Amino acid sequence: MARAMKSIRVEEVMSKNPKLVSGDLTVEEGARILRELGISTLIIEEDGKPVGIVTDRDFVIKVIAEGLPPDTKLKEIMSSPIIMIPYNEHLSDAAKIMSRRRIRKLPVVKGDKIVGILSENDITRISPDLIALAQEYANLHTSSEEKGRIQEYIAGKCEVCGQYSLRLTMHNGMLVCPECLDAME
């Protein structure tokens, strides 16, 4: 590939128009949506805000393997809070986040809106070795300085004020919104 991996941005590779659904849908309804749309990820929203993520793997690991009934709600099996990445970050940085966090799907945000999903498959389609290199890099160079340089977002409710934020930060073992973080410092 002519372009260096460092110059490829997440938005160039991500799948666009992610499917946002209510956490009150059942796993049966969620599985039908995945099948009908030919997708593998649902973003769970509450009051118009993303609060969790469910992937096709969750249906296998959390529903089938655990013997949960088809009327189980998606909010009961979703992963939360959501780890996200800005659309204009480098693909190599996304691969590092995915490796460090051990996730296969990474929602992509632009402003306050989720605009896409980046998967390991999207990355390996561009560079088959990038995931392996990112895993090795994460094992060797996971310093707090490196973590701070790569921008990732966590979405959910602030554990201090209870307000929803797309940009929570881990501070003293709590997920904190930018406003509360400023007040604490």
- Worst-scoring range by mean pLDDT, 3-12, 31-40, 51-60, 160-169? 3-12
In CATH, 5-151 is 3.10.580.10: yes
The C-alpha angle 57, 97, 56, rounded to 5 degrees, equals 10
Q: Is the torsion defined by CA of 101, 104, 107, 108 positive or negative?
A: positive
What whole-number distance in Å separates Cα of residue 10 and Cα of residue 87?
5
Q: What pTM does this model have?
A: 0.76
Determine the average pLDDT of the residues in 69-78.
Answer: 97
For residue 1, name the pLDDT band (cuts at 50, 70, 90): very low
